[in-house]
Amino acid sequence: MGFAMAKRFAMAGALGIVMLVCAAVMLAIGELTIRSIHLLRDGIPFFESVAGGKVGPITLDEELGWRATEYYQETLVEKTKAGRPYSVRRTQKQYGFRQFGDLESKKLRLLVVGDSFTHATAVSDDRTYHAVLAQLLDAEVFAYGAGGYGTLQELLILGRYIDIIRPDVILWQYCANDFINNDNELERLSFLNNNGWVRPYWKDGRVQLLSPKESSLQVREWVNRRSRFLYFIVSRIDRLRAVGTRDSVEVAIESQGLRHPGFLRAVGVTDELMGKVREKAASRSIVAFNCARAEPYDQAFRDISARHGISYWDDIASVILEADHRGEDVYAADGGHWNERGHQLVGQAIAGHFRADMTAEVRPQ
């Protein structure tokens, strides 16, 4: 090898080392910055790592994929969609429940299970829709939700705690993204309802833990568990891909409905899972509502509920839409979840249904 060639290889090697060092420094600065923000803004310990199972309100779980962190609390300032700031004091109690009533009480026991709308991270403890229900119905309410949950995760939560709580009534919070989150193939095609976390799916008659991302499971899991900065970057890339996209699978589902083979498959899985919810509940009353109005999801929930003896209150989401159309500020800053006013309206609407439809039917066991 000539001197000139050797010199070029040496320069290339030196340049590569410099680039690696620069990348490592940038990664370190990014990690330091994001952990400092989490510490100062959210109170999440600087050295708390997902590798240890927990970051803030979410804890990894070998069965559930993730769960709400037990005995977590946070005080912060949120904004409504219209930009109005309001303070939030949020706690997660025993087992991660947002609300955990008195197990010794003789009042009606209501178990609420759902996803991010029930997790309600943008609302203080006493302003959630289930807190409103507890006040209006004078009931003991036990409410569990976790952001991004699908029906199987909610079923597993029901299985964990139904014998501890022994509820008289179960309130099930549906959301349109349940169908996507219940089917790994659909979730892989979604830019809108895919958080990148490994979750359990009901597939081929058994529970399987799978990644919803096409990229290498090992690489994505390393990012999810080891680096808050890289997780911030990849999750923001996911969100950017979702903005204004017409490629996400939800577009095809909403135009084709049950003619979409993936959606038809997901409806079948969801139907089977809700059948298992009915088995777990036994003779207890189950009532359900959808957090948003959209087809073909509403009709699918309506049909599934009817097959399993679940009372489906399909007007709850309309309460929010009508208030929004009147000019009320009912959404949180993300424009999708409810703020305090939205939760108040939903709680009042659900309480109205209980009073009208369940008075003669539901009695404490």
Residue-level pLDDT at 229:
59
- CB-based contacts of 65: which residues, under 8 Å, 6+ apart? 153, 197, 198, 199, 200, 209
Give the pair of three-digit tokens for residue 173. 């919070």
Residues forming beta bridges with residue 120, ordered by sequence position: none
- What is the SS3 assignment for 302? helix
pTM summary value: 0.81
- Per-position pLDDT tens, the chain of length 365: 565 665 565 565 666 676 666 766 666 676 567 566 555 555 556 555 544 455 678 998 999 999 999 999 999 999 999 999 999 999 999 999 999 999 999 999 999 999 999 999 999 999 999 999 999 999 999 999 999 999 999 999 999 999 999 999 999 999 999 999 999 999 999 988 998 889 999 999 999 999 998 655 555 555 555 666 556 555 555 555 545 555 789 999 999 999 999 999 999 999 999 999 999 999 999 999 999 999 999 999 999 999 999 999 999 999 999 999 999 999 999 999 999 999 999 999 999 999 987 554 544 44
- What is the SS3 assignment for 167? coil
- Rounded to whole angstroms, the Cα distance separating 181 from 187 reads 6
Domain boundaries, the chain: 1-47, 53-358
- Helix, strand, coil fractions of the chain, as percent rounded to 5: 50, 20, 30
Residue-level pLDDT at 362:
46
- How many residues are recorded in the chain? 365
Residue-level pLDDT at 221:
58
Residue-level pLDDT at 3:
57
80 contacts 339 by C-beta, under 8 angstroms: yes
Q: Which amino acid type is present at position 212?
A: P
Pair type for strands 72-79 and 85-92: antiparallel
Instruction: Provide CATH code, domain 53-358.
Output: 3.40.50.1110
Residue-level pLDDT at 41:
53
Place of tokens 């510490």: 39
Residue-level pLDDT at 102:
97
Place of tokens 């999750």: 235
